[in-house]
Copies of this chain bind each other. A is one copy, B any other.
Amino acid sequence: MNLKQQRRQAGLTLAQLSERAALSKGYLSKLERGLATPTIAVALRLSRALAVSLAELYPELGEAAPGTDCTTLQRRDATPLLLPQNGAGYRALAGAQAGRRMQPLLVYPPAELGAAPTLHQHAGEEFFYVLHGTVALHFADETITLGAGDSLYFDARRAHRTQSVGDEPAEALVVIAG
């Protein structure tokens, strides 16, 4: 539906998009006017060719599964502190349940990086907001230091690791969209 708008916004003609997406000009014309329904493979090619997410071309695809009530109320400190092997403790503020788009966590980065430098890496995007203290975010090629109130939004596929620096133990709110 929004295909035409997205193509226009990208400044492309049907012929240009046709080449990029490896689809015929005529077929694209039909798609734009709702005269055909693409297969998911074609929709994906369009999304890549226009460098937009699928949901922007077909908003209905972006909706969460229906019937799944995603509401979760979480009182402070009401969830247990988990300490997995990589050193950073965390609290899940809402379970990573199927059908939920985001997973919010409270993260407590360790002061010292363990001997096993396992970088955290996963699909999707991550929003990192420092609540207290100072956090060093180590990426493969750079390190970013954030103080309370600072935030970083980044592609979670970039391997990363967190460290609490300074005397006060740090606390951060992390939201992952996978």
Contact = CB atoms under 8 A, between A and B. Distances in A.
Interface of A: 37-41, 43-44, 47-48, 50-56, 58-77, 93-94, 98-102, 104, 123-125, 127, 129, 131, 144, 147-155, 173, 175, 177-178
A68 to B, nearest CB: 6
Given A76-B148, A155-B71, A173-B173, A41 B51 contact: no
Contacts of A154: 70-72
12 contacts: A37-B39, A37-B40, A40-B61, A53-B101, A70-B125, A71-B154, A72-B152, A72-B153, A94-B151, A100-B153, A102-B153, A102-B175
Nearest to A104: B127
A101 B129 CA distance: 16
Nearest to A57: B40
Number of copies of this protein chain within its complex: 2
B153 A98 contact: no
Contacts of A71: 152-155
Contact of A40 (B38, B68, B77, B125): B38
Nearest to A59: B123
B99 A51 contact: yes
A48 to B, nearest CB: 6
A52 B65 contact: yes
A129 B79 CA distance: 14
Nearest to A154: B71
A65 B40 contact: no
Given A39-B39, A52-B98, A144-B73, A65 B44 contact: no
Residue picked from A74, A75, A101, most chain B C-beta under 10 Å: A101
